Structure 1
C-alpha cells in the first residue's frame, strides 16, 4: 500500500509511540506545536463508514477541497487530461469487527495510520485514534497534511502514464507526496479554498505532524519503506509550499536526501547523541576551525571566542536576551565570548530533543561572531537571520573533512525540531528574533544548508 504513513516504520514507531505504550524510542520532543484554525465542517456522508463526527467532518472538508484543487491543477501537469476522482474514502474504527474496507483484511490493520491503496484507489484512516490525537497534539492542520499527503499519492498514480513509479525509490515517492501536501497547505493558508482556513500557527502544526511521522533515526534511505527523516520531510513540504505542483512533479532521482543509516555500532547504541559537556568539548574546536576559515578566506581576522559556562548573559546586558547560548562582544580588552547556560533549561532540552539542538544554538552564536568579524550587523532581524543561516551552512559542512567531529543521522532532525519550537537560534545579539514562525526559521536554516555561507552573507 503505497503512501501509508507506514505501519512497518512510521506508524508503529512514530504515531503509536504517542497513542499507546510502545517500545520505540525517539529523541524528538513530544511537546505539541499546535496552531488555531478555522475550518468549515462538511457533511461526511460520502465517506464510507463515517460516524458523522467532528473528525470526519474535517476530513470531508479536506477531501472536497483536495478534489477541487486537483481538479483545476492536474490538467496542467497531465497534458490536459482531467482529474479522475478517487474511487472512495473510508473512515475506520479499528475496534469495529465488521467494518469492510478495501485493501484490508482486518480493520485493525489501519490502527494509528492513514493510507492510500492504489489497487482500489481509495484513502482510509483511523478516526478513533489517529485523527483525534493529531488534532490534540498539532491542531486541525495536522489532519489536513496527513490526508493531503495520501491524496498526493493518488495524484502520482494519475500522472504516471509510463509505469515509472514502480521503480522509483520509496523515499522519493514520499518526498513528492509531502511536496504536493505543501502546495495544498499554501492554498489553505492563503484562503484560496472553499472550506479550509488556517494561519501561520496551523502551518507550524502541519510541519510538527510531519516531524512526528518521520522514520526512526538511523533508517537507511534505501529501505523499502523509508519515508524520510524530519529534515527531508519538512524540506519537501516547504518546496511545495513555496513552489507549485510542477516543482513537485519534477522531483527525480537526483534529489538529495540527508537521511542516513548509523555508521557504527557505538553511534547506534547512543542514538547518535553526546552528553552536554562532551558535545561542547568536541564541537567548540570544530566551530573555531570552520568559522575561522570562513572569516579568513574573506580577508578578515578571526579571534576564537572564549567559552564560559554558567549563565548565558553578556556583561553589558540586563538579562540573557539571546537564549541559553549567547555570543558576547569583546569588552574591557578581553576577547569575545560564548556563554552557555548549563544550569537552566538547556540540559533538559539537550536530553529531550537531542544533542544537535544544543549544537544548533552553538553554531548560530558562532555565526554571530563571524558576522562581527566581517563587520556585519549582529543585531536585529538581519543579524539573527544571517546567524541562523550560517548555522545551517556549518551543519551542511560538518564531517566533509577529516576532522573528528561529525553529525549523526538524527542531528538535522533535532535542528528542525528545535527551530519549530524556539526562536533562540534566530535571534540577533540584542534578542530581536528574525522570524516569528517555525516555518520561516526552518526555511532560513535550510537556505544555509543548501546554499552555504555565501548565500547567508548575500542575504536570505
Structure 2
C-alpha cells in the first residue's frame, strides 16, 4: 500500500482509536440473500478432489507423448473438457463442437518440438495455437510443478483455460473475439470458460474428475493466484492475463453462470471492474518490496487508522479501543494476529505476527504475503465491532461473510485519489492470498471460525469492494 505524506498529529502507542464503518442499511432484500452453506447454489463439500479412481484413461491421439502420469492427466482433462463443450456449444450458441485438431506433449528440458512457429525447448508452458488448432503442454516441468504445488486439479485448471481459447476461436463472432481484441479480454474470457467447466465437474458430470466445492475449489483459486500477472503489470500490456483478484473474479463468473456470461466479457466489461494497474509514482520500495509499507511503522498504522475512520465515517457506532497487548475476554476467544472482544469493545493485535504476514517472501524463500494482507486482518476485526453495534450476530458463517464483505468495503475506499492509505498494485492479490489461507481472519467470525469455502470468502470481499457496506448487510444478513 502507498502512504501519502501528510503532517502527522498523533503517534501510535499502546492504544489506537479506530472509528466506525459505513452506515449499515436495514431492510433485507430476500432475493439477494445467499445460503451461506452453499457455493453458487451448490452444497459446500469437503470430499476428495482429483482423478476419479477406477476410471479408464481416455483414448485421445497425442503427438510426442511419453505415456506417463502427466500425459495421462492432460489427456483425461482434455477428454472431459471436450465432452463439456460438445454439450454446451450447440445448446448455448447453436454451434457444433469440433475437437481440437492437434494435441502435443513435450518436455521443455528435452529436445524441442516445432509447434505454432515456436520451438518448445526451454518453454515451460501450456498454450493453444489457432494457426493449427492445437493445444500443447510441457510434461517435463510445468505440469509436474503444478501438480506438486497444488494437486492434479491445478493441471486441469490450466488446460481448461487453454481449451477456453480454443472455444473462442471456434465461436468466432458469436464469442465476441477478433484479432484486434486485447489480450486481457481473451484471457479473462478463458478463465471464465474454465469456471463453466469446473461447475460441471462439481455437479458430478465429468467422467474422469471430481472436485469438492470447499477445499477442492480453494486449490483451484490458489492456482489462479499462482499464475497471475506480476504486481505492477498493466492490464493494457500485450499478453496481460490479469491479476489474481481479476482472474478469480472471471473464474467465479463462469462457475456461477453459463458460457454466454463469459462470451459477454468485452472491453467495456473489463474497464468496469478490472483492478490491475501499474505501480504509481509514490509506490517506492521501503525495504519491503515495491508498494509495501513496514507494518509496524507507527506512521503506517496511523495512516491505517485514518483510512478506517474515513471509510467508515457514516456509522454511529462507538469506535473500539485498540491495544498491542492481549487480555482476557468474557465473550469471545482470542484470535491471531488480531482479536475483537465484544464485552469491552476492544481490539488487540500481535504486531510480531502481523509483521510476519506483512513481509513479502524473498525469491526462493518462504515468508508472509504483504502489507495489505496484514492491514486487512486488523480491518476485519474492526468490522466485527460495527456488526455488534448494529445488532448482528458475531458468530457463524454469515458473520464471517459480512466481515469479508465489510473488509472489502474498506479496501474499496482506499482507491480514492485523496486517500492517505492508498491501494497499491498487487494489494488485492495479497487479499486473495490471505482469504484463501486456512486461518484467514478476513472471512472469520469473532472466534476465528473461517468460512469453509474460499470461493465464498473471495466473492464476499469482492461484493464489498465494488458495492460498499450496504451490499454487505443486504446480502449477508444471516
TM-score band (shorter)?
0.7 to 0.9
Tell me the residue number matched to 2:294: 275
CA distance in 2, matches of 1:399, 1:383: 25
> How many residues matched?
410
Tell me the residue number matched to 1:219: 233
What's the TM-score once normalised by structure 1's chain length? 0.84
Tell me the residue number matched to 2:135: 123
CA distance in 1, matches of 2:80, 2:162: 14
Alignment of 1:5-404 (within 5 A): 36-39=49-52, 40=55, 42-43=57-58, 46-78=61-93, 80-97=94-111, 99-109=112-122, 111-161=123-173, 164-200=177-213, 201-255=215-269, 256-264=273-281, 266-267=283-284, 270-278=289-297, 279-293=300-314, 295=315, 301-311=316-326, 314-316=328-330, 319-320=333-334, 322-331=335-344, 336-343=345-352, 345-351=353-359, 352-400=368-416, 402-404=418-420
CA distance in 2, matches of 1:314, 1:381: 24
Between structures 1 and 2, the one with greater helix share = 1
My pick for the range that moved more, 350-359 or 173-182, is: 350-359
My pick for the range that moved more, 379-388 or 48-57, is: 379-388
- 1:246 CA displacement: 1.0
Cα pair 2:332 2:447 within 8 Å, conserved = no
CA distance in 2, matches of 1:314, 1:87: 66
CA RMSD of aligned residues (A): 2.1
CA distance in 1, matches of 2:319, 2:147: 47
Cα pair 1:41 1:61 within 8 Å, conserved = no
- For residues 210-229 of structure 1, give each alpha carbon's deviation from its aligned partner in whole angstroms, at most 9, with x where no partner exists: 11111110111110111100
CA distance in 2, matches of 1:264, 1:107: 38
Task: From the superposition, tell whether residues 268 and 121 of structure 1 become closer, same or farther in structure 2 (CA, over 3 Å).
Answer: farther
Partner SS state of residue 89, structure 1: strand
CA distance in 1, matches of 2:417, 2:470: 19
- 1:266 CA displacement: 4.1
What's the TM-score once normalised by structure 2's chain length? 0.81
Q: Which has the higher contact order (CA 8 A, sep 6+)?
A: 2
Cα pair 1:62 1:147 within 8 Å, conserved = yes
- For residues 398-424 of structure 1, give each alpha carbon's deviation from its aligned partner in whole angstroms, at most 9, with x where no partner exists: 132523111101110000001111332
CA distance in 1, matches of 2:268, 2:332: 50
Task: From the superposition, tell whether residues 431 and 45 of structure 1 become closer, same or farther in structure 2 (CA, over 3 Å).
Answer: closer
Unaligned runs of 5+ in 2: 1-46, 360-367
- For residues 302-339 of structure 1, give each alpha carbon's deviation from its aligned partner in whole angstroms, at most 9, with x where no partner exists: 3222221134x55326851x3311222253xxxx2221
Task: From the superposition, tell whether residues 318 and 249 of structure 1 become closer, same or farther in structure 2 (CA, over 3 Å).
Answer: closer
Partner SS state of residue 357, structure 1: helix
Unaligned runs of 5+ in 1: 1-33, 296-300
Task: From the superposition, tell whether residues 198 and 41 of structure 1 become closer, same or farther in structure 2 (CA, over 3 Å).
Answer: farther
Query: Structure 1 runs of 4+ off > 6 angstroms?
Result: none
CA distance in 2, matches of 1:193, 1:266: 46
Alignment of 1:443-454 (within 5 A): 443-454=459-470
Task: From the superposition, tell whether residues 203 and 382 of structure 1 become closer, same or farther in structure 2 (CA, over 3 Å).
Answer: closer
Task: Name which of 405, 409, 412 aligns with 2:421.
Answer: 405
CA distance in 2, matches of 1:125, 1:436: 33
Tell me the residue number matched to 1:457: 473
Cα pair 2:283 2:424 within 8 Å, conserved = no
- 1:281 CA displacement: 2.5
- For residues 79-127 of structure 1, give each alpha carbon's deviation from its aligned partner in whole angstroms, at most 9, with x where no partner exists: x221111111111012332x53421442215x22111111111011110
CA distance in 2, matches of 1:93, 1:402: 51
Tell me the residue number matched to 1:28: none
